[in-house]
Amino acid sequence: MAVTQRYGDGHRILVSGGAGFVPSHTVDALLARGCEVVAIDNFITGSRDNVAHLADEPRFTLIEADLADGLPPLPGRFDAILHMASPASPTDFAKLPLEILKVGSIGTMALLDRAVDDAARFLMASTSEAYGDPLVHPQPESYWGNVNPNGIRSVYDESKRFSEAATMAYHRFHGLDTAIVRIFNTYGPRMRPDDGRAIPAFINQALRDLPLTVHGSGAQTRSITYVDDLVRGILLLLDSTETGPINCGTEHELSMLELAELIIRLTDSESKIEMVERPSDDPEKRRPDLTLAREKLGYEPRVGPEEGLRKTIEFFAK
């Protein structure tokens, strides 16, 4: 199914967390279409560097604000609101638990209220973490998940699950035009080098010829998605009339050991692999069932692991 572009010239879009890794790439894609974009970020994990190239772009506005305090006054109407704000890495779960819970609850409700006021399409960026440590593989959207509600990861898992519930409640109660995307493990330029995720950690270690620290046995898997593929999927969902949730990612499933070995090869590193203790609640497997994304959006990932990792390595090497 082909999706017709719905947002472009003349449309005004609000992006929460707009200076973050994935949101900043989404901002770029929206601006490339001719949209006017307003980004909100409190810079807890986002970076002004990610949007510094837009300093002279008249259609871009960056506002420093914390959605945990509610939505600041924003004049004018928005045609669409993309809620993408949240710390999202394993190190954030321990360091920023309350911030994660607040942006997923207070922040979500504030943006939903604004979407109702503006009659805007509301797109919620959810996560594969909604499936927890899945007992079904690959994970279809119909799977309700296997989430530990009080583990170390629960602040992120449950804040996103609450956000999904709130989004659907506004859709049913207010008739709000909504969409939910479940994002699988994404990588690429503008990732934080110290955010605790495997790819930036492995790349930084490999570039310095340090041991690559692989958790546990390294048999646990992730399906890694290059950021350009993810952003294209998000905009396909935005343009569509689908409510979701819809998975967005790739089927490039790699074990953490395979990923480490691949990064050593691509960096031509002298690094060895070192096994370290595995974090609690670390999911065993992750791979999206992309049937809905293909059928409803015409989505197909294009960037393979080697191509995407080479681009990411080049970014970190700089």
Q: Catalytic positions, please? A: 156
Q: Cis omega (within 30 of 0) on the bond before 245?
A: yes
Instruction: Please state, in angstroms and rounded to a whole number, the distance separating the CA atoms of residues 5 and 63.
Output: 27
CB within 8 Å of 260: residues ≥ 6 apart: 198, 202, 212, 214, 218, 273
Cis peptide before 283 (omega within 30 of 0): no
Q: 97 vs 92, 153, 178, 220, 282, CA distance in Å?
A: 7, 9, 27, 25, 17
Cα distance between residue 170 and residue 165, in whole Å: 9
Helices and strands (H and E) in the chain: how many = 10, 13
Query: Rounded CA gap, 239 and 70, in Å?
Result: 27
Cα 19 to Cα 48: distance, rounded to the nearest angstrom:
6
Distance (Å, whole) CA 290 – CA 287 = 9
Q: How far apart are CA 221 and CA 256, in angstroms?
A: 6
Q: What angle do CA 104, 109, 115 make, to 5 degrees?
A: 120
